Amino acid sequence: MQKFFAMSKTVFEEKGVEILRNRGMSKSEFARQMGIRKQNVNVLFKTRNLDTIFRASKVLDVPFEMLIGYTEEPDINLFG
């Protein structure tokens, strides 16, 4: 079956691993704080569920709006 619409990746999906790395947080720790298994972290990065992304923004201490692509990344380095 052919896809007619390609959904673009969310900022969360594109930068999730980078944010974890820059926060010094392992996937295991992120999974623990999110209440999921480590094996599901990459699946979680692909979510479009706003409640889940909001919870992740709190765990990662980054603005929710940035993870959904509503705002540009701020000039200050939130990743380091």
pLDDT at 76: 43
Whole-number pLDDT of residue 11: 80
Q: Which domains occur in the chain, in start order?
A: 11-67 (1.10.260.40)
Q: Tell me what the mean pLDDT of segment 63-77 comes to.
A: 70
pTM: 0.76
Q: What is the pLDDT of residue 75?
A: 46
pLDDT over 70 (residue 72): no
Query: Mind listing the pLDDT tens digit for each residue in 33-56?
Result: 999 999 999 999 999 899 999 999
- Cβ(10)–Cβ(57) under 8 Å? no
Over 60: is that where the pLDDT of 66 sits?
A: yes
